[in-house]
Structure 1
Amino acid sequence: MVETGKPSLATRLAYGIGGAAGGIKNNGFEYVLLLFYSQILGLSAVLVAAALWIALLIDAFSDPIVGYWSDNLRTKWGRRHPLMYTAMVPVALAYFFVWNPPAGLSGMNLFAWLLGFTIVVRLMYTFFEVPSTALAAELSQDYDARTSLMSFRYFFAWVGGLTVQVILFFFLLQPSEGDPSGFFHLPGWHTYGLIGASCIFGSIAIMTLGTHRHIPHLKAPPPLRKLTPLRVLGEIWETVSNPSFRALFIATLFGLLASGISATLNQYINGFFWEFTSDQIGGLTVAVYVSAVLALVIAPMVGRIFGKKRAAIYIGFLAFTIAPMPVILRQFGLLPPNGTDLLYMIVLCVTVFDLALIIAYQMLAASMVADIVEQNELATGRRSEGIYFAGISFMRKLAQGVGVLTASGILAVASITPGMRSSDASDEAVRTLGWGYALSLLVLWMIMMVCISFYRISRADHEANLAALAAGGAGAEQVKP
């Protein structure tokens, strides 16, 4: 009997904990890697951005390959789990070495080290990310249960990433005279890499082992057929031509361009624009735990009330207009001066509320991808969960790469150079940084909301797709976990 109910709590927890690996990796690469390699190790920000972008570009093209392979793989452990097991050790080791380059390495040698290990991290993480996200569409066909699964995944992604970053700012970066932020304490960064790598390994292991028992009940690969390069390309093109997928695909492009800029410039906004101390930045990070908990409640609730598309639009519009507002208000002199407790509390409250909405939007958007699977199965006779989530992952990586490059351009225009400290930045440089950050986010996020409005699958559409598949006998049987 096809499962239509909610997966058990144990299944949702195991699936969700797997998201922590991505949260840790993404937080490291998007929030502090540019800071570490440029400001601390002295590598040009342009070279850091180039290394990250090249690694993203190479990895992005692995997504459709891994996605298609994951959809069609035939083993005694099913389609997804063999790839997930393969990723565990290599991705953890490579992540450790990213944050532990040999002492004295500099210039192009440091660039080569960064490039090589970021490529390995991203390629091997794809072997986990694509098949594991595809599992959401197989563990349940229920419209709301999929939102619950994705809510757990994004909750643990944020909590995992935040926890390791809290450890970095509160316990590993030790302030000293001339370095009140503690950013230049190298042993702390090296330990951060070790902790992050260990948690990535544990997260992948828990998710993979925790869902292993469901392998016999997951969807089977499509029937054997003669596959040629042209046929593979044709099937991929047929799959991604779904109108609702195109809407999410393009929305993801603009949304993640904004996310890449936001994540890369986050520490610069906190350090240069607001002039927060490392303790204050750590406090902002800790407060976002509240955001993740709120999102875990908000996303399923508004999804049930409004349906996923309308809920995503409502939440997204509210969240993405609030996000840059403190910076814009400061540009017009409408906020208290830097160094005041009132300013910090305003930024803290806005951050908690806004991030809760942003995380909830991400949960809903991810669940919307899963609902395309049955519509595609009706049209093509194939289940292509891997291709769909690989497509979103592909766009995520390209967009974030361009976002990092754009952020580096904003830093260059603002004349914020490698090794510069906040006290050395001119007022004009800080204003330029603020405008570049706020306006780029506002424009890109608004374009994203327009794109997602073209998504076409409602709750009624999803239920009709399931009924049509049941009537036609399509799909493999699945039992309740």
Structure 2
Amino acid sequence: MATTHDGTLSAPDAAVTDPARSVPPIGLGTRIGYGSGAIANGIKNAAFTTYLLFFYSQIIGVPAGVVSAAVALTLLVDAVADPLLGRWSDRTRSRWGRRHPFIYGAALPTALFFLLAWFPPAGMSDLQTGIWIFVTASLTRMSISAFEISTSAMTPELTEDYRERTRLFGLRWWFGYAGTYGFTTLCLLTFFAATPEFPRGQLNPAGYPGFAIAGALTIFAAILICGIATHNRIPYLRQAEVRTERTSLIGHLREMGSALKNRAFLAIFGFGVLKYSAIGLYSATTLFFLTYLYQLNAAQVAILTIDSLVAATIAAPLAPVMSAWIGKRASSMLFAVVGVSIGLTPLFLAYNGWFFAPGHPLLVPTLFAIGALYGAMVAISLINTSSMLADVVEDSALKTGRHEAGTFFAASSFMQQCSTAVGIFLAGRLLIWADFPAKPAPGQVSEEAIRSLVIHYIPCSIGLWSLGALFLLFYPITKAKHEANVAALRAREAEARAVEMDNSALLGPAR
């Protein structure tokens, strides 16, 4: 039985796991399969945040303002689609549970729409190309949101343990980084390898079709592997409660609103929107800095991409240690602000003429070391914040009587989509303010334009991260509070089961 917000009993909740029932531990194959699903979102993020603006503005020749505005408008679609997908996932009942139908159903559409985004029809005007970007990006993001929301919502259902959740999210973030940076590294060394005509292979138009096809196929495979690997956990996942009456639209909105007004959630949401926007801004501009400020070729860019994999490998085991040592909230705030400050150092030094000049033998190694350190600190913050959101599920359930992980992780999906929409929009604005040319000829990008881009970027980036971190001051859930929430929910569910058994005995046939 499930309880409502006023403490009364509702229809039986098939998801409440009976403590007497033996639940097998999560096997290594299931863990790896679950984590590897994040490769799909990692590839989408890398392609859309780092390469989409670069491809359309520097290769196709569409003004950066048109591209950034088209991508920014997709945020309006996400604002409607993500909460509906999360709510739909929470309420779905099927023989495959409430998460796996969305996982399997997302594989083919995500891969197809992702592929179409990189093949705009020839002969279109800038406005028509902007519409093409908006439509294909929106459909890609909605499709992958169905997958990402459902898989993320499984985490609080896989384990209630405070630290174990951080480990699972650490694994998931590592695979996400592998998708983002491992895939792009391979592409830079293959599809964007230097040629006599294009010594900086990222400017070679012929490399992008292979890049898009490889991305689509890998996304499709990663989603299916995640679904198949976690299929054996379906009997042990929390299922949707049985409802005897249909819920009206107003009722759905009211229930979603009562969950999303949770104070802990609002703190994470405020931080999330700003931090992911900052991440999107970084991703959308970094290829411009590497290409024009540091004047690196594709092989050197590939080397610097590996530093993020090093960062994720460091962060995954350290994140649960830091959460146990100083708490999830403190580690999320500290590592975010300090890490980003370190990451901005090369740009600040280069702007003032104090950094290694292009071609210096120490340039790439120094950027690699700083990138690995900065990336590891930011990754620890991201992992612990994701784990914090999982803890919100029980905090909300104690107040509302409903386990709505899908609703909360729909908001998380929306936050991450901000990294593409808001980040690319801000990058487009910075490029316009810097008077950066579209599809420039060799040597056409002036030093003044590059310096202007740097000086606009630094305060924008650190400002987003610092302001976002302040929101976490309002996050109230500690380890002790989480454990108390879990214990209270178990007691409530045990009481509901006891009442159900008593009622069944009283109403049973006479013997």
Residue 141 (1) aligns with residue 157 (2): no
**More off after superposition, 14-23 vs 184-193:** 184-193
Name the count of aligned residue pairs. 477
- Tell me what 2:259 maps to: 239
CA contact (8 A) 1:370 1:385 kept: yes
Distance 1:92 1:292 in 2: 25
**More off after superposition, 105-114 vs 379-388:** 105-114
- Tell me what 1:89 maps to: 108
Alignment TM-score, normalising by the size of structure 1: 0.95
- Tell me what 1:433 maps to: 453
1:101-137 CA distance string (max 9 Å, x none)? 3455553343333222212211111111111110001
- Tell me what 1:356 maps to: 376
Q: 1:389 to 1:260 in 2, by over 3 A?
A: same
Gaps of 5+ in 1: none
Match 1:228 to one of 248, 254, 273:
248
Distance 1:285 1:421 in 2: 26
- Show the 5 A alignment for 1:121-160: 121-160=140-179
- Show the 5 A alignment for 1:88-237: 88-103=107-122, 105=124, 107-224=126-243, 225-237=245-257
- Tell me what 2:44 maps to: 25
CA contact (8 A) 2:111 2:219 kept: yes
- Show the 5 A alignment for 1:318-337: 318-337=338-357
Distance 1:137 1:396 in 2: 19
1:25-68 CA distance string (max 9 Å, x none)? 00000001111111001111111112212223213310100111
- Tell me what 1:55 maps to: 74
CA contact (8 A) 2:201 2:297 kept: no
Q: 1:301 to 1:109 in 2, by over 3 A?
A: same
CA contact (8 A) 2:174 2:309 kept: no
Instruction: Give the match's secondary structure for 1:221.
Output: coil
CA contact (8 A) 2:437 2:445 kept: no
Q: 1:428 to 1:476 in 2, by over 3 A?
A: farther
Distance 2:490 2:109 in 1: 41
CA contact (8 A) 1:56 1:398 kept: yes
Distance 1:307 1:7 in 2: 25
Which residue identity lines up with residue 390 of structure 1 in the other structure? A
Distance 1:375 1:356 in 2: 29
Distance 2:163 2:55 in 1: 41
- Tell me what 1:376 maps to: 396
Shift of 1:4: 10
Which residue identity lines up with residue 190 of structure 1 in the other structure? P
CA contact (8 A) 1:219 1:476 kept: no
Residue 472 (1) aligns with residue 496 (2): no
- Tell me what 1:268 maps to: 288
Shift of 1:396: 3.1
1:340-377 CA distance string (max 9 Å, x none)? 11222221110011111111211111111000111111
CA contact (8 A) 2:39 2:175 kept: yes
CA contact (8 A) 1:248 1:452 kept: yes
Which residue identity lines up with residue 46 of structure 1 in the other structure? G
Which residue identity lines up with residue 310 of structure 1 in the other structure? A
Instruction: Give the match's secondary structure for 2:190.
Output: helix
- Tell me what 2:315 maps to: 295
Distance 1:163 1:285 in 2: 8
Distance 1:42 1:322 in 2: 34
Distance 1:177 1:112 in 2: 35
CA contact (8 A) 1:6 1:142 kept: no
Distance 2:23 2:171 in 1: 18
Q: 1:113 to 1:211 in 2, by over 3 A?
A: same
CA contact (8 A) 2:49 2:423 kept: no
Residue 11 (1) aligns with residue 11 (2): no
Distance 1:103 1:172 in 2: 22
**More off after superposition, 154-163 vs 217-226:** 217-226
Shift of 1:465: 0.6
CA contact (8 A) 2:34 2:230 kept: yes
Match 1:394 to one of 402, 406, 414:
414
Distance 1:475 1:63 in 2: 34
Gaps of 5+ in 2: 1-17, 498-511
1:295-317 CA distance string (max 9 Å, x none)? 11211221222221122122223
Alignment TM-score, normalising by the size of structure 2: 0.89
CA contact (8 A) 1:14 1:206 kept: yes
Instruction: Give the match's secondary structure for 1:449.
Output: helix
Instruction: Give the match's secondary structure for 1:337.
Output: coil
CA contact (8 A) 1:327 1:434 kept: yes
- Tell me what 1:75 maps to: 94
Residue 39 (1) aligns with residue 58 (2): yes
Which residue identity lines up with residue 123 of structure 1 in the other structure? M
Distance 2:426 2:442 in 1: 21
Shift of 1:175: 2.8
Instruction: Give the match's secondary structure for 2:47.
Output: helix
Distance 1:94 1:31 in 2: 18
Distance 1:354 1:5 in 2: 38
**More off after superposition, 437-446 vs 6-15:** 6-15
Which residue identity lines up with residue 132 of structure 1 in the other structure? T
Distance 1:306 1:85 in 2: 39
CA contact (8 A) 1:6 1:145 kept: no
Distance 1:150 1:18 in 2: 12
CA contact (8 A) 2:114 2:136 kept: yes
1:323-348 CA distance string (max 9 Å, x none)? 21111122222212222112222211
RMSD after superposition: 2.0
1:423-452 CA distance string (max 9 Å, x none)? 322222111111111111111111111111
1:123-173 CA distance string (max 9 Å, x none)? 111111111110001011110111111111110011012122112211112
Identity %: 31
1:381-409 CA distance string (max 9 Å, x none)? 10010111111222332464122111101
Distance 2:133 2:296 in 1: 28
Distance 2:190 2:344 in 1: 29
- Tell me what 1:405 maps to: 425
CA contact (8 A) 1:23 1:158 kept: yes
1:180-239 CA distance string (max 9 Å, x none)? 202343332101111100110111001111111111111121341431111111101100
